[in-house]
Structure 1
Amino acid sequence: MVNVISAGAFLHTPGGALYGAAKAALLHFTRSMAAEYATAGIRVNALAPGPTDTTMVRNAGPEEAASMARSTRLGRLADADEMVGAVLYMASEASSFMTGQCITVDGGLVPAR
């Protein structure tokens, strides 16, 4: 199982307390489920994308989207397709000894802050 959380789980964003708390709770849920289901051979991990070109970001408006892009070290929004590799890895046998973990794909957002 791969849960999609957000890099917002790790960061303070003005006005984003509820969003960040919800994403942090999903990370905790991921780790709890990993512990509970590991003996059944079920692995549970998470993906934490950074600012990604999605409907939610577009609905925030062009100025907010540009601000989100500038917040990453790579200086741009991710394309949703850039998340696929990490999800496929976590869903594959290549990660057979991985459970309760989170891969952050954020263009350098979290380390930059």
Structure 2
Amino acid sequence: MDTSAGSRLLRRARLVAWRARFVVAALCCGLAATATVSALRPPPPQTRDVVVTARPVEAGTLLTAGDLTTVAVDADLAPTLVTDPDDAVGRSPAVPSRPALPCTPRW
């Protein structure tokens, strides 16, 4: 390869690098933003399974196992809610309940 071809190739490489500088800068900024967000994201909250109604239940109706299901909620809320389905079976809500309504110990 002669020197004029080598210099043309070098000049072309510099031109491509110059034109691509904004793309490279944008990619670097995106990478930095992704790393920052990943580092600053809080850990997911601890969860605990609580008992909720699986379907609408009328007031005064005795709850059966088919009326209940469990869902995961934030552990900070769980101390005030029923966590064992057997504790809610046989109770009756004082008011009509909609699906996914958490069961409380006072039901």
TM-score (norm 2): 0.24
TM-score (norm 1): 0.23
More helix by proportion, 1 or 2?
A: 1
Q: Which has the higher contact order (CA 8 A, sep 6+)?
A: 1
Highest CA radius of gyration, 1 or 2?
Answer: 2
